[in-house]
């Protein structure tokens, strides 16, 4: 944007001032209405999932458990390993593109309804209201005398917040270490030092972010807030104040009319500012602080109803619609996003369904390159790591090929039992007639296959080293 | 961009929260990501054995890894913040004479 130093767009003047303002607590007035109900429903559902999911069992195993010490990730009966990192990347790609799609459709839906920062802030504000009352009462309390009732209320609020934070931290750790054991240890105060540390660390972060930082997280910490406008276009549904209809705003519209002045629908009651969790005035136009929570829509609709004007002075609308142009909800960029999501999701599902839950690592013994045994055969020593990533136990048979007459020394039918999720190390010697060794280092293959399920197999290459016969 | 009046130095007048957050937050995010990638590649129990602490628990290793990453990334962020200050302040009186 170039500037000739004369004109600045209206409504942006406050931007500069914001840079220099000390932070002031935003006292939020409670709001009821369609979007408040949606937001509260989302809050209850999402918090319910967070606190509840850790307790659900699946096949006798915690349904969602990221077992860090064992380095295994249990997700509804499937077991993932650090080697399956690619799936996580695919999930992240899907999440990112979905975020772009929802943003281009209807602005900051994520921020307003689903972002953990919003959800936990709503929860903490609810607890605050429970103790201190609505926004106006909170302000009065803070500005009034600091007497026993003040300290009593503050203590009650912080006790509630801290208890909830502790529960949040506990649940968080419960996704990384079995939550039932954790609960037992917690009750008997028998927690390990690191578990204790992480419960308090995560709890403290929740307490700080949802209790104190709140909208500052969105304004200063969130990268998405700053680049989201790149995903907006003229057909994106955003929460806007209908300036044409509202202006000139007037607190006493009737008197203004009698005095021969024109008057818009906005009665300048200021409620849209009082309910805003980030403390902005939506009438100044789209601002990056707006998290799209729609609280101002709810409250303005109530006011419009009271004064007898049609609802929707503040509403979800598009730039095109505000200018009276036709709106296009389904447009190319939406189809492109949907296409990418479908593709990545399809690939993810396909590769999960067809993945071989068996991994074999071949480690050559480094003590000696090769030995000649008493039968005149050349021997190499290996350690095979057989990792059963399947949800069931399997018995595997191990064979070797790649050179003429190659076989596992001292074994005719080598089998190994590997429990689900276990790693078994098999030391073995491989012997070859020196006559069939054509080069110093030959590629051989270890064939490991499940006896009860022949398609569960891996052919893992390894190096066989021996003297070249002439 | 509208130009700021010269007597207002943005880097000195940013809200304290924003200054703290601009160091702690990016370093936290990169440390978390690095921790995930690092431990996806290396098993902490192998590392602990190699470094001669076989009794180190996995939780302790992950914790040490994360905070180690966070320490180094926050040093990097701090230096970025430090070097992005206007250079006139390097002069003893920090005056704006040259502008």
CA distance A313 to A283: 10
pTM, two decimals, is: 0.77
Residues A121, A185, B66, CA angle at the centre, nearest 5°?
55
> Where does CATH 2.60.40.10 sit in chain A?
358-465
User: Which pairing describes strands A407-408 and A358-364: parallel, antiparallel, or unpaired?
Assistant: unpaired
**Does residue B20 have a pLDDT over 80?**
yes
pLDDT given for residue A386 in this prediction? 92
Predicted local distance difference test score (pLDDT) of residue A146: 87
Quick one: pLDDT at residue B1?
Answer: 44
Residue that the structure tokens 């772009």 belong to: A100
Q: For testing the chain B interface, which of A12, A19, A73, A226 should be mutated: the one with the most B CBs within 10 Å?
A: A19
User: What is the DSSP annotation of A325-379?
Assistant: PPP-SS-HHHHHHHHHHHHHHHHHHHHHHH---EEEEEEE-SS-S-EE-TTS-EE
State pLDDT tens for residues A209-255.
Answer: 999 888 888 888 888 888 877 888 888 888 999 988 888 887 877 77
Identify the residue whose tokens are 């955003």.
A238
CA dist A112 and A293 (Å) reads 4
Going through A4-127 in order, the beta strands assigned E by DSSP cover 57-58, 61-62, 64-67, 72-75, 78-80
Residue bearing the bigger pLDDT, A2 or B91: B91
Which residue on chain B is closest to A84 by alpha carbon? Answer: B40
Percent of chain A with pLDDT over 70: 94
- Indicate whether A4 pLDDT > 50: no
Global ipTM: 0.71
> Residue B39 is encoded by which pair of tokens?
């431990």
Contact (Cβ atoms closer than 8 angstroms) between residue A360 and residue A458 = yes
Q: What are phi and psi of A422, to 5 degrees?
A: -105, 160
**Residue contact B15–A197, C-beta within 8 A:** no
Q: Does A221 sit within 8 Å of B21, measured CB to CB?
A: yes
Does the pLDDT at position B8 exceed 70?
Answer: no
Q: Which residues of B touch A218 (CB under 8 A)?
A: none
Query: pLDDT-based confidence at A9, cuts 50/70/90?
Result: very low
Which residue in A327, A323, A281, A285 sits closest to A300, CA to CA? A281
A21 pLDDT above the threshold of 60: no
Q: What is the pLDDT of residues A418-433, one digit of tens each?
A: 988 788 999 999 999 9
Provide the angle, in degrees to the nearest 10, between the axes of the packed helices A135-143 and A116-132. Answer: 70
Asked if residues A357 and A456 have their Cβ atoms less than 8 Å apart, the reply is: yes
**pLDDT at residue A259 in the model:** 74
Ranges A145-159, A219-233, B3-17, most confident: A145-159
How far apart are the C-alpha atoms of B30 and B27, rounded to whole Å? 5
* Non-local CB neighbours of A359 within 8 Å, separated by 6+ positions: A81, A83, A385, A386, A387, A389, A458
Q: How close, in Å, is residue B79 to chain A by CA atoms?
A: 18
Name the closest residue on chain B to residue A197, using Cα atoms: B63
CB contact under 8 A, A1 and B1: yes
**Residue A151 pLDDT exceeds 90:** yes
Minimal-distance CA residue of chain A relative to B13: A20
Q: What is the mean pLDDT of residues A396-412?
A: 89
pLDDT tens per residue across span A273-326: 999 988 899 999 888 888 899 999 999 999 999 988 899 999 998 888 888 888
Q: Across the A/B interface, how many CB contacts are shorter than 8 Å? A: 54
Q: In this structure, which CATH number among 3.40.50.620, 3.40.50.970, 2.60.40.10, 2.120.10.30 belongs to the domain A358-465?
A: 2.60.40.10
Residues A68-107 have pLDDT tens digits of: 877 888 888 788 888 788 888 899 999 999 999 998 888 8
Residue B75 token pair = 């040093």
Q: Where are the domains of chain B?
A: 28-84
CA dihedral B87, B92, B96, B98 (to 10 degrees): -80
């Amino acid at each position: 944007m170039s500037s000739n130093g004369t004109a600045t767009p209206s409504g942006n003047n406050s931007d500069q001032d914001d840079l220099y303002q000390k932070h002031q607590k935003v006292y939020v007035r409670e709001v009821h209405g369609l979007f408040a109900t949606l937001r509260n429903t989302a809050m209850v559902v999402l918090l319910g999932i967070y606190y509840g999911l850790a307790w659900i069992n699946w096949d006798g195993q915690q349904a969602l458990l990221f077992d860090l010490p064992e380095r295994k990730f249990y997700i509804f009966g499937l077991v993932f390993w650090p080697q399956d990192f690619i799936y996580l990347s695919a999930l992240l790609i899907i999440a990112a593109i979905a975020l772009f799609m929802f943003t281009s459709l209807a602005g900051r839906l994520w921020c307003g309804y689903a972002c953990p920062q919003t959800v936990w802030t709503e929860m903490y504000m609810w607890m605050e209201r429970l103790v201190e009352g609505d926004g106006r009462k909170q302000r009065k309390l803070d500005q009034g005398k600091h007497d026993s009732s003040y300290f009593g209320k503050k203590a009650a609020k912080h006790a509630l917040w801290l208890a909830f934070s502790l529960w949040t931290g506990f649940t968080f750790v419960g996704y990384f270490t079995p939550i039932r054991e954790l609960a037992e240890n917690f009750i008997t105060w028998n927690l390990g030092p690191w578990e204790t540390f992480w419960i308090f660390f995560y709890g403290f972060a929740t307490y700080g972010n949802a209790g104190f930082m709140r909208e500052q997280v969105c304004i200063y910490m969130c990268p998405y807030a700053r680049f989201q406008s790149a995903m907006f276009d003229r057909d994106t549904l955003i929460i806007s104040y209908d300036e044409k209809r509202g202006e000139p705003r007037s607190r006493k519209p009737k008197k203004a009319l009698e005095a021969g002045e024109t008057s818009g629908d906005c009665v300048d009651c200021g409620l849209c500012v009082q309910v805003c969790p980030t403390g902005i005035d939506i009438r100044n136009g789209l601002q990056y602080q707006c998290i799209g929570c729609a609280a101002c829509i709810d409250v303005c609709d109530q006011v419009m109803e009271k004064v007898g004007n049609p609802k929707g002075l503040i509403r979800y609308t598009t730039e095109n619609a505000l200018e009276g142009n036709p709106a296009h909800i389904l447009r190319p960029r939406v189809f492109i996003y949907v296409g990418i999501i479908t593709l990545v999701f399809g690939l993810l599902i396909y590769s999960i369904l067809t993945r071989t839950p068996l991994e074999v690592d071949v480690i050559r013994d480094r003590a000696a390159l090769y030995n000649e045994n008493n039968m005149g055969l050349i021997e190499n020593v290996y350690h095979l790591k057989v990792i059963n990533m399947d949800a069931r136990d399997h018995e595997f048979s191990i064979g070797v090929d790649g050179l003429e007459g190659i076989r596992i020394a001292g074994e005719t039918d080598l089998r190994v039992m590997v429990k689900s999720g276990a790693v078994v190390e098999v030391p073995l010697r491989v012997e070859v007639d020196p006559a069939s060794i054509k080069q110093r280092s030959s590629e051989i293959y270890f064939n490991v296959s499940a006896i009860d399920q022949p398609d569960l197999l891996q052919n893992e290459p390894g190096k066989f080293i021996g003297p070249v016969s002439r | 961009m509208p130009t700021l009046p010269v007597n207002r130095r943005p880097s000195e007048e940013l809200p304290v929260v924003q200054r703290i957050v601009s160091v702690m937050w990016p370093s936290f995010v990169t440390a978390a990501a690095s921790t995930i990638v690092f431990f996806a590649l290396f098993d902490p129990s192998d590392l602990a054995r190699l470094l001669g602490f076989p009794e180190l628990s996995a939780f302790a290793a992950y914790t040490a890894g994360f905070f180690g990453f966070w320490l180094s990334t926050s040093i990097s962020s701090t230096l970025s913040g430090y070097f992005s200050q206007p250079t006139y302040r390097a002069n003893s009186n920090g005056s704006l004479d040259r502008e």
